[in-house]
Amino acid sequence: MSMWLCSANKVNGGPGERAIAVVQGDAIHASAKLTTARAQQATEFWINSVAKPPAALRTRRALR
Q: Is 60 contained in some domain?
A: no
Judged against a pLDDT cut of 70, whether residue 48 lies above it is answered with yes
Q: Which domain holds residue 40?
A: 15-48
Full-model pTM? 0.43
The answer to whether residue 59 is domain-embedded is no
In a domain, 53, yes or no: no
- Grouping H, G, I as helix, E, B as strand and the rest as coil, residue 61 is coil
* Structural domain total, the chain: 1
| Separation of alpha carbons 25 and 60, rounded Å | 64
> Which one has a higher pLDDT value, 62 or 28?
28
Q: How far apart are CA 28 and CA 34, in angstroms?
A: 10
Residue 32 located in a structural domain: yes
* Average pLDDT of the residues of the chain: 78
Nearest-CA neighbor of 27 among 15, 42, 19? 19
In a domain, 61, yes or no: no
With respect to residue 19, please indicate whether it lies within any of the assigned structural domains: yes
Residue 25 predicted with pLDDT over 70: yes
Q: What is the CA radius of gyration of the chain?
A: 31
Per the model's pLDDT, the better-predicted residue between 62 and 49 turns out to be 49
